[in-house]
Structure 1
Amino acid sequence: MTQQAAPGIRDRLIQLALNAALFGACYPLTNHLAQRHGEVGNVAMAWEAALPFLPWLVLPYMTSGLFFALSFLLARDRAGLSALSRRMAFTTIAACLIFAAMPLRFSLPRPAVDAALPAWLFAQLAALDQPYNQMPSLHVAYCLIFWAALRHVATGPMRAALACWLLLVAASTVFTYQHHVIDVAAGALLGALAIRLLPPRTDADANNAHVDRPVGFGYALLSGLALLAWFALGGAWWLYLSASLMLVARAYRRRDAGFLRKRDGRHPWSIWLLYAPYLCGYLMTWHAVRWRERHRPPFSHHGGGLWVGRRLTDAEAAYLPPDCAVIDLANELSETPALRHGRYHHFALLDLHRPNAQSARPILEAIAGHAAQGRAIYLHCAMGYRRSRQIAQLYKEHSQQ
């Protein structure tokens, strides 16, 4: 396995900013929802009232934010940075959905703090946080993810010190009267689950259907955000959006390229009912691309009789060579009516996934078959950026063998 290059500072900062923004949007929202809820329960056990309050432990408690940043800034390679970002995003969304569905409050009164520094830190904490968002403890879940990200960076005594400090951060959630013991256990379970479900991806994972795929993961996150919006705003639209996006995530996870059931260049109404947000999103993106590139030709000549580009309008299709065969890779858009003729072929490919040999073979055979008859071929995907160019490159390499 080749060693991956370390990510640049720009990539690190982007991933850090995205996850900080996700936390900054979702965590206060669920605090507000719990506060609005009125009567909120707790999961305290009777014996927890005997646990001591240790105010100086607010110092390690507050370093969680520092580790949040360091874990992104010190990630040793791109696979580790990607895994860290996905784990953090998954944990944040999952925890906030639990907070919204089952609001809880810390039940024990916090004693007065006399020492100046801990008192100031507790005041800062009170200004940013509320006694809600209890189970699972995000502090504890994050600690496991920080350890997975940073243990390769530290060596020897530094690694032992890192482990001890993160354990202290997790313990501080109980002894600063921020969380109950069950919250800690649930947080540890959530962090372990994130690490188990979202391992770093390697080059060998590209064709492994059981390895997490970032595109499907992204749609799953959007589905979670839509569900969180439903908790906040109500309305059946948000539930529908969440369910529709989760179906898209499932299709990407399973590499089900034919999940939109496109036939003869069109989608059936049942698919529109299930996937309208996804399909409308692609249609709007296609219009945006057309406008942005309005001064550029929508397709280009790739040698021989092969032309490559994006999905065309009827007016743009008139400029194609006559008697042109059409190879449509745009799974998400209906085909231009002018191009739905006897030499139209649709091959379903998932966007943002590089086609493998199995999915590319029938496409290359179709192109070669038309080329052997001396016929021009128009090969296109939705926007003309990835799938059509990747297949055109594979065809070029295949033709030169």
Structure 2
Amino acid sequence: MKIILFRLGQMLLGWGFVGVIYSSTDRWQGAGKLISPSAIDRWIPFSPAAIWLYLSFFILIPLGYLLAPIHRVKWLATAMQLTALGAGAIYLLWPTTMAYPVDSGTGASSDVLAALIGVDSPQNCLPSLHMALTVLAVWALSDWKRKLRTAFFVVWAVAIAVSILQLRRHLFVDLACGALLALLAGWLALRIKGARRYAVKGDAG
């Protein structure tokens, strides 16, 4: 039970911090600069049905905290906090937006997409935190001794990335920048973790 509470507490510190930064910067930023779609964005057709894969992100992130090796859980929380700080700074200094398609569908997918649009920010596009956190969760879950499980999570992450583009919630450049930000934040979190371990050993010595 203590381990579960520890994992949930770290999820609150990491993922919860992302939510605070995301919502705060949305209120404080100015008008966003319109980003034009690339050839890749134009090649992938808009599809409201992608909403279900898109929302599976909200399953993948908790799994990152609940199933990752215990020694990676604090790292994951720290990496998410650093990612949020980096993205938040960009949102405030260079806010961005995009041209969103109008969905005239009437099915369940369209209804859920409409609900998402009602609560999501029309800005905070670049970098994509949806992509960044997906990368970090899969990083935490990856284990090359368990190749099949790792491949499953990688394929899931790729599917989420495609669904983001299909829904036109972000453009390809947003996803690329989000993934890059995640890699930089993850590397920095590893450095911080290593520095802390060194400091503790030094104090003990």
TM-score (norm 1): 0.46
Using a 3 Å threshold, how does the CA distance of structure 1 residues 182 and 80 change in structure 2: closer, same or farther? same
Kindly tell me: are residues 167 and 154 of structure 1, through their superposed partners in 2, closer, same or farther at Cα, counting changes over 3 Å?
farther
Query: Per-residue deviation at 1:50?
Result: 5.1
- State the alpha-carbon separation in 1 of the partners of residues 144 and 68 from structure 2: 8
1:76, 1:153 within 8 Å by CA — same for their partners in 2? no
Aligned position for 1:265: none
Rounded to whole Å, the distance in 1 between the matches of 2:166 and 2:6 is 37
1:162 matched to which residue of 2?
A: 153
Partner residue in 2 for 1:263: none
Q: Does 1:355 align with 2:199?
A: no
* 1:351-399 Cα shifts (integer Å, max 9, x gaps): x896254xxxxxxxxxxxxxxxxxxxxxxxxxxxxxxxxxxxxxxxxxx
* 8 A contact 2:79–2:189 mirrored in 1: yes
2:42 counterpart of 1:57:
no
The superposition leaves residues 40-71 of structure 1 with CA deviations (integer Å, 9 ceiling, x where unpaired) of: 21222364445410221111111112122111
Q: Which residue of 2 aligns with 1:4?
A: none
Q: Which has the higher contact order (CA 8 A, sep 6+)?
A: 2
Q: Which residue of 2 aligns with 1:68?
A: 61
Deviation, structure 1 residue 135: 0.4
Q: 2:37 aligns with which of 40, 45, 64?
A: 45
Structure whose CA Rg is larger: 1
| 1:156 shift after superposition | 4.3
The 5-angstrom pairing of residues 211-360 of structure 1 reads 355=203, 357=205
Match of 2:125 among 131, 134, 148: 134
SS class of match (1:93):
helix
Aligned counterparts of 2:35 and 2:170: Cα–Cα separation in 1? 10
Q: Which one-letter code corresponds to 1:32 in the other structure?
A: R
**2:9 counterpart residue number:** 14
Structure 2: gaps spanning 5 or more residues? none
1:159 Cα deviation from its structure 2 partner: 2.7
Match in the other structure for 1:252: none
Q: Check whether the contact 1:141–1:191 (CA below 8 A) recurs between aligned residues.
A: yes
Which whole-Å CA distance do the structure 2 matches of 1:160 and 1:50 have between them? Answer: 26
Q: Separation in 1 of the partners of 2:68 and 2:49?
A: 30
Cα contact 1:53–1:175 (8 A) shared by 2: yes
Q: CA RMSD in A?
A: 2.7
> Identity, % of aligned pairs?
25
C-alpha separation in 2, matches of 1:154 and 1:67: 20
More helix by share: 2
Between stretches 146-155 and 128-137, larger displacement belongs to 146-155
Is the CA contact 2:15–2:80 (under 8 Å) kept in the aligned structure 1?
no
Give the drift of 1:112.
Answer: 2.2
**2-structure distance, mates of 1:161, 1:24:** 27
Letter in 2 for 1:13: L
Give the deviation of 1:154 after TM superposition: 9.0
Question: Counterpart of 1:100?
Answer: 92
Aligned runs of 1:203-214 on 2, under 5 Å? 206-207=197-198
Return the alpha-carbon distance in structure 2 between the equivalents of residues 154 and 128 of structure 1.
40
Report the CA distance between 1:115 and its aligned residue: 2.5
Q: Deviations over 1:292-322 (max 9, x none)?
A: xxxxxxxxxxxxxxxxxxxxxxxxxxxxxxx
Give the whole-Å Cα distance in 2 for the aligned partners of 1:106 and 1:173.
13
- Which residue, out of 76, 80, 96, partners 1:84? 76
C-alpha change, 1:130 and 1:207, in structure 2 (3 Å) is: closer
Pair 69,121 (structure 1): closer, same or farther in 2 beyond 3 Å: same
Alpha carbons 1:43, 1:104 under 8 Å: kept: yes
User: How many residue pairs were aligned?
Assistant: 203
Counterparts of 1:154 and 1:43, CA distance in 2: 41
CA distance in 1, matches of 2:28, 2:144: 39
Moved over 6 A (4+): none
Q: 1:10–1:137: structure 2 CA closer, same or farther, 3 Å change rule?
A: same
Q: Which of 112, 116, 138 is the equivalent residue of 1:125?
A: 116
